[in-house]
Structure 1
């Protein structure tokens, strides 16, 4: 059986690297991407290509390189993303736009670049990495929730548009996993003179503590493999701690204001 060819954006670290290493160990031909190729000169886990999801030229060049070498592209995993925290009122709008460019527009650029090849093959799978945070508006993480929520809704629409081409699309929403996302996340400054100061500082500490205590991202990689092996993927998948996934069930069954009260109590707001 021909080895499946996989492209993972944001593959040099964190969840993307964990997915790439795991799929490589399972016999897939894996290509990861990074914006800073020079920083990974000794990276040997799988092949890394330069790609910036905000630069359509770099996207097309990377996709063309893979197709020229492999003759096909079977799986795209839209993993590259950025975190952002802060009161929405006090978050610089240029930072909001940067987040949306990476977390929403970037995956759309990637999808547009791979669809012609997958359509020619009459097969393909696109996995958009969202977040459990995409299912709810979280205090001081509203822009992140919105960016991932937008990707989830776009996925619901696009998977219906491309189904007749033999191409599948789904989302995978991870909860908290032990990665370096906290160090790369944009934090609106904590200003103690701000009306949000104390509440934001408290919530930010809770967010960071959750990441540091989080699980092994190999769980995400294992879920990705199970999706790849599924003939007809579901619309959405989740992976994470029991309580994180249970919170999604509560959101479905509880009145909005009751669920909001649970979040307020959780964050001590």
Structure 2
């Protein structure tokens, strides 16, 4: 399958070379890091557990905990000083927690908020002064197709990914007329380690939801296994990054998710979309 985004024409004169990439140890982030390095970029890649990061020339491992604002700021500032300034910020790191909305404690909700929205927001805030000073830059926020089509029993994940998408739109409006590009990059189902890393909530409070929770979990697991791998996302992101005129929103995944899904979101009445999602996930 050809990568969605293949139609973009790379810009051989692009000056973008230094990249700050979160979540580089596995899945989409790992493949993005490899693609960046293969195309001559200098990459500062992060993980909460730096021992999971690979060793390679032009790759700089960074310990970054998105749940710890103070450590996040210190890590970014040190990396920025080492790099001389970042041309590209890619907010890719994620965190998956699955369960009914009413079963998410304030602590679990706050954890997802910090990783999926507050942390990326803070990195954008710190990266922008340097980009404005240089007169150019690119911010790529890796949200999700779940920003358009919420995943049942992953409500907080869907909500905060939608927030990240709206952050991208707000930035584009505020940075209009500058040479700072902001791209909302929306992967659909891709065969990554996210499925195995997603934690399922447990406890008796889940009992009223259990049959439907189990059904959705099984259906999403099967679709993950049938989906393309994360290299597809990396290839698409590289094409977008090197394009002289990238689109503001890019969806990547199967043909259905990357092409028909966004069309459905734009044109179908909300009631039809909800009906479709219930059928898609086997819900009554």
Q: TM-score under structure 2 normalisation?
A: 0.87
Asked whether the equivalents of residues 37 and 48 of structure 1 are also in contact (C-alpha less than 8 Å), the reply is: yes
Deviations 1:142-191 (A, max 9, x none): 22111100110111011221234421111100011121112222322275
After TM superposition, the structure 1 stretch with the greater mean CA deviation from structure 2, 107-116 or 52-61, is 52-61
SS of aligned partner of 1:81: coil
Distance 1:90 1:69, change over 3 A: closer
Distance 2:184 2:222 in 1: 26
Name the residue aligned to 2:270. Answer: 256
Structure 1 gaps, min length 5: none
Name the residue aligned to 2:280. Answer: 266
Asked whether the equivalents of residues 103 and 206 of structure 2 are also in contact (C-alpha less than 8 Å), the reply is: no
Structure 2 gaps, min length 5: 1-12
Q: Which residues in structure 2 correspond to 1:159-198 (within 5 Å)?
A: 159-189=172-202, 194-198=207-211
After TM superposition, the structure 1 stretch with the greater mean CA deviation from structure 2, 57-66 or 11-20, is 57-66
SS of aligned partner of 1:7: strand
Name the residue aligned to 1:63. Answer: 76
Q: Which residues in structure 2 correspond to 1:68-217 (within 5 Å)?
A: 68-189=81-202, 194-217=207-230
After TM superposition, the structure 1 stretch with the greater mean CA deviation from structure 2, 193-202 or 17-26, is 193-202
Tell me the C-alpha RMSD between the 2 structures: 2.0
Name the residue aligned to 1:44. Answer: 56
Distance 1:241 1:39, change over 3 A: closer
The Cα shift of 1:108 comes to: 0.2
Distance 2:93 2:256 in 1: 25
Distance 1:5 1:75 in 2: 6
Asked whether the equivalents of residues 16 and 88 of structure 2 are also in contact (C-alpha less than 8 Å), the reply is: no
Distance 2:99 2:46 in 1: 28
Asked whether the equivalents of residues 16 and 87 of structure 2 are also in contact (C-alpha less than 8 Å), the reply is: no
Asked whether 1:12 is paired with 2:29, we answer no
SS of aligned partner of 1:44: coil
The Cα shift of 1:57 comes to: 3.2
SS of aligned partner of 2:170: helix
Asked whether the equivalents of residues 175 and 239 of structure 1 are also in contact (C-alpha less than 8 Å), the reply is: yes
Q: TM-score under structure 1 normalisation?
A: 0.92
Name the residue aligned to 1:221. Answer: 234
SS of aligned partner of 2:244: coil
The Cα shift of 1:265 comes to: 1.4
